[in-house]
Amino acid sequence: MNQPDLFESAKRAIKSGNLGEAEKLLRDNLGNQAQFEVTRLMLAEILIQRGDSNSAQSLLLDVVEKTPGNPHSHILLAHISRLKENRPQARKHLQAALKSSSLTQENLKFIADECVAIEDFHTAIHVLNHVNPMDGKSFHNLGYSYFRIGETGKALPIYRKLFASYPKNPRIARELSLAAAAFREYDTAVEAYEAYMRNIQPSAADYLKFADLELMNHNVEKSERHLQKSISLGENSAAAKLLLARISRLKGDYPLALNLATEVTQASPGTGTAWSLIAELTHKEAVDSQLIASLESALTLPEISPEDLELSQFALADLYIKAGDFPTAYHYMHAANRTKAAQLKRQGTQYNPDLAEQHFNELKSAFTDSSDLCNSECSHRPVFVVGMPRSGTTMINRVLDASGKFNCIGESEALPYIFAQTRRTGGPLRDYLTQASSETWNNAANEYLRRIKHSDRPSVDKMPSNFLYVGYILSMFPHARIIQMRRNPFDVCLSIFSKPFPEGHNYACSPNDVAHYYYQANSLMDFWSQKFPENIFEIDFDQFLEKPNAIGKELYEFLNEDWSEDNLLPPENSTQAFTFSEIQVRRKISRQESMKWQPFKKVANDLMDAIKLQAKQSK
């Protein structure tokens, strides 16, 4: 039997499922030095399929010793290392494979598979960008990798294309839903999850997840309906009870929400979201040593996840604030942010001050001379309330919502999403702006209006981070009105440092970073105010709390609307704020809010020092 016949026979045996016969043929050929590599590689693949990883590894190491540049051997060794849960070794072999100059497209696809499996998503993206043509699995891996590193804006278009090609694939529909939810594009998330539900036999757990998505989409009624369906199918988990607690909080039934959250921690003491609700809803008079001890005990649970640990540490800080122990509260703020920072480091998405400054400077540079730039012809006059998080955007939104003259849409992700899509091709922002036509901006404006479900009343978008896009907004809507919120740096920075902000706010994890970002953000807002003074109204939130009627009147004059002091009253039937300010927004406006963080000025010395340094450097 000649060699080609041997390998063809082995392949036929493998195809027919007779691995034993294929293994025997290849073992008999191990002494053939002319076919040293191919025999051992093929035999190693069979041994891996048969679960004999150790023998396969021995053969592959022989290949590496004789021909260290062979990529296939390193790929298979990486696969074996992953099966043995040795991710560092798997990563080492994948990097060795990538150094080869003889990589085939199939090699690249296999390497990408392994990178995704060991959660090395950055390398997976790098590899997949060299795969051409890209099949469905590779396209899925690319979308999933972008999603896992937080580049949801890049993941969503990929999942959309996959969903369009495979509309009845429940896995793709579900992953599109999760990616869209992570990007806070909840309409798409709900639509995709509905498709997922249509293509499966939904379980109680599926309805529970659907209820959670609907709540993210700010649809409390539908969320309750899906939750009840889940319960009717036998769902009786702590997760279901926790969802009901969150719904009760949003409906203003704080006693019920508190009772439910307490029941959740009794059944599952490491549930961070439940502790967050307890810390938020417990009156300071009810905070006692027993409650604090219970939460401190939960922090030591070996099974607690990093996400739950972070939330629980923030919750403990809140309880110590209510107990009046500010040094210990600040200690747990630091602990929570260290937990969060460790997660960001693992994902490779930690804050980079230099890159942040480059981004802010590019925005200023791109719009410095706007005389030769095109604008939309759109006549709509949407309102955008922007600024640093915790700067009063929710309160001002309440004051606007109270008049009934505006369509307050909350914190919409429409604008960040549209911006991300226009910038997918990369390149300098200024080049994009000079090439953009009026039609480009008309299309962007129409897409924004479509996404927010524009009504006859002027819309109010209170997404704070839209301060990044003021120049972009006014290119889309030349008649838009921008309300830029300012607040003293200590209150803003400490308020951010005290809360579990998501990955998009990676500056929130350290006093130095949050202070740096604060001054960069305010510098950009200064630039916008100087560039577009007719379109921008500045509100100092501390002054607003001192003189709400006077500033409220000036705000309404800026918006060409009549003012009423009734707009300052707590709403009887408040729409849910869906923010950290949910409870505050239901209260009477009071200057006491500006005094909340004063006790920490004797405690947060590192934050005070960071603010002083950034203030000095920003001059």
The 3-class SS string of 230-252 reads HHHCCCCCHHHHHHHHHHHHHCC
Q: Is 316 contained in some domain?
A: yes
- Same domain, yes or no: 345 and 401: no
Q: What is the token pair recorded at 537? A: 């109204």
- Same domain, yes or no: 503 and 579: yes
Q: What is the token pair recorded at 336? A: 């929570």
Helix axis angle, 438-451 relative to 414-422, nearest 10°?
140
- Same domain, yes or no: 333 and 389: no
Total domains, the chain: 2
- Same domain, yes or no: 589 and 539: yes
Q: Is 303 contained in some domain?
A: yes
d(CA 124, CA 109): 9
Residue 540 DSSP SS3: strand
Nearest CA-CA partner of 551 in 561, 540, 559: 540
d(CA 393, CA 486): 9
Q: Give DSSP secondary structure letters for 304-326.
A: --HHHHHHHHHHHHHHHHHTT-H
Locate all alpha helices (DSSP H) within 388-437, ordered by sequence.
Answer: 393-401, 414-422, 429-435
Interval 477-533: pLDDT, tens: 999 999 999 999 999 999 999 999 876 789 999 999 999 999 999 999 999 999 999
- Same domain, yes or no: 476 and 431: yes
Q: Is 495 contained in some domain?
A: yes
Phi, psi of 34, rounded to the nearest 5 degrees: -70, -25
- Same domain, yes or no: 319 and 423: no
Instruction: Give 544's Cβ-side CA count (13 Å radius).
Output: 25
Q: What is the pLDDT of residue 590?
A: 67
Radius of gyration, alpha carbons of the chain: 28
Q: What is the pLDDT of residue 578?
A: 47
Q: Is 499 contained in some domain?
A: yes
Which residues pair with residue 387 across a beta bridge? 485
Helix (H) or strand (E) holding 407: strand 407-410
Q: Is the bond preceding 502 in cis, omega lying within 30 degrees of 0? A: no
- Same domain, yes or no: 298 and 386: no
Nearest CA-CA partner of 73 in 44, 47, 36, 108: 44
Residue 354 DSSP SS3: helix
Q: Is 238 contained in some domain?
A: no
Phi, psi of 485, rounded to the nearest 5 degrees: -90, 135
Q: Is 510 contained in some domain?
A: yes
- Same domain, yes or no: 571 and 457: yes
Phi, psi of 184, rounded to the nearest 5 degrees: 60, 30
Q: What is the pLDDT of residue 408?
A: 93
Residue 592: burial class (beta carbons within 10 Å; 0-12, 13-18, 19+): exposed
Interval 373-425: pLDDT, tens: 899 999 999 999 999 999 999 999 999 999 999 999 988 888 988 887 777 66
Q: Count how many residues are written for the chain.
A: 619
Report the CATH number that the domain containing residue 572 is assigned in CATH.
3.40.50.300
Let me know the angle formed at the C-alpha of 143 by 142 and 148, rounded to the nearest 5 degrees: 100
Q: Is 452 contained in some domain?
A: yes
Low-confidence ranges of the chain (pLDDT < 70): 1-4, 183, 424-426, 503, 572-587, 590, 592-594
d(CA 207, CA 205): 5
Q: Is 594 contained in some domain?
A: yes
Let me know the angle formed at the C-alpha of 438 by 437 and 444, rounded to the nearest 5 degrees: 95
- Same domain, yes or no: 601 and 490: yes
Q: What is the pLDDT of residue 267?
A: 93
Helix, strand and coil content of the chain, in percent to the nearest 5, comes to 70, 5, 30
Q: What is the token pair recorded at 381? A: 């006059």
Helix axis angle, 605-617 relative to 489-497, nearest 10°?
130
CA distances from 364 to 405, 526, 589 (A): 33, 10, 35
* Residue 286: domain span: 260-350
pTM of model > 0.85: no
Query: Cβ distance 59 to 75 under 8 Å?
Result: no
- Same domain, yes or no: 407 and 336: no
- Same domain, yes or no: 337 and 265: yes
The mean of the pLDDT values for the chain is: 90
- Same domain, yes or no: 424 and 510: yes
